[in-house]
Amino acid sequence: MEFQKKSLIYFVAGLAIGGSIIACVALNKVEPGTASVAVSPEGRPQYKWFAPALPSKMDFCGEPVPLEKWEVREKLDREVLVNSYLHGSQLYILKLAGRYMPLIEERLKANGIPDDFKYVCVAESSLQQNALSGVGAASFWQFMKDTGPRYGLEINEEVDERFHVVKATDAACKYFKESYSKFGSWTAAAASYNCGQAGYQSQADFQQATNYYDLIFPDETNRYLYRIVALKYLLSNAKSLGIVLDQGEEYRPLKYKIVTVDKSIANLTDFAKENGSSYKMLKIYNPWLRSHKLTVKPGKKYDIAFPL
């Protein structure tokens, strides 16, 4: 039995090495002896990891990333390297993208915001609807509780529209438009989403520069735009970079019907059952409902989704 196990190990390792050598020869990139899998003297596979190559040109919203600057190239290289080997995370984001990206892309387009801003959402939450930060930022776009209402989001004990993908995306678009008008570039608008408009302006004034790539910020903002650009590169080229999601494996958009209410609901479980559903499905389809009841003020209406 032990002999058979070792034989199997050698056989599998041999296949891996052979495949790696064939791929390397075909691509004419790797020298002999640098296959991605080797066999140790004990008969165990020994993996080798390679730094991914950066493309010669990259941009955000059509604004070039100045890769000719060594410090810019190294910062981007770090984010591409760090995120390249998060295979499980990338696959999960691609699956979630099937459900949420059609909605996010449609709202960005409707609001006149460049499509690349969808990667800001990925950087903020990895498209996880229930994402919560340690400081209280929530859901897709990670709005803070005191910031959301400034951009049209209702946030209280019963309703939190930060968890509503369409309304939260519209709110983010308002911020991006405001920032673009203030700073004159989409790159700065995206960076200011991390440090705030006042934070960006303060650094720009002190350092006597306005271009993000010419400024130095606290570490999180220093890395922020580079991570967004890295995610854009990795996710938009996933298959060619070896992150393969077969057709049909992504999560599909939820199909639903809308029930419009203009009166308070004392018990959401009873309301869900009256509409042929359950409290669980009500919460899944309407994560912005944060309580067991819903108070509807005079003149106010809410659209509540139920599964078809």
Give domain limits for the chain: 2-47, 59-236, 256-307
C-alpha to C-alpha distance for 76 and 92, rounded to whole angstroms: 23
- N- to C-terminal Cα distance for the chain? 55
Structure tokens at 91: 């696959």
pLDDT of residue 30: 52
Structure tokens at 257: 């019907």
pLDDT of residue 42: 86
C-alpha to C-alpha distance for 219 and 234, rounded to whole angstroms: 22
pLDDT of residue 31: 58
- CB within 8 Å of 267: residues ≥ 6 apart: 292, 293
pLDDT of residue 94: 97
% the chain with pLDDT above 70: 89
pLDDT of residue 36: 73
Give the chain's residues under pLDDT 70: 1-35
- CB within 8 Å of 219: residues ≥ 6 apart: none
* Residue in the block written with tokens 């959301």: 148
Structure tokens at 64: 């070039």
pLDDT tens for each residue of 262-297:
999 999 999 999 999 999 999 999 999 999 999 999
C-alpha to C-alpha distance for 238 and 129, rounded to whole angstroms: 22
User: Could you say which of 3.40.50.10090, 3.40.1080.10, 1.10.530.10, 3.40.50.970 is the CATH number of the domain covering 59-236?
Assistant: 1.10.530.10
Model pTM?
0.86
pLDDT of residue 38: 80
**Pairing mode of beta strands 302-307, 256-261:** antiparallel
* Residue in the block written with tokens 């979630």: 96
pLDDT of residue 29: 55
CA–chain centroid gap for 75, Å, is: 19
Reported for 214-220, long-range contacts at CB under 8 A and 24+ positions apart, including other chains, are: 217/191, 220/194, 220/195
pLDDT of residue 20: 44
pLDDT of residue 34: 60
pLDDT of residue 243: 93
Of 48, 53, 288, 72, nearest to 187 (Cα)? 72
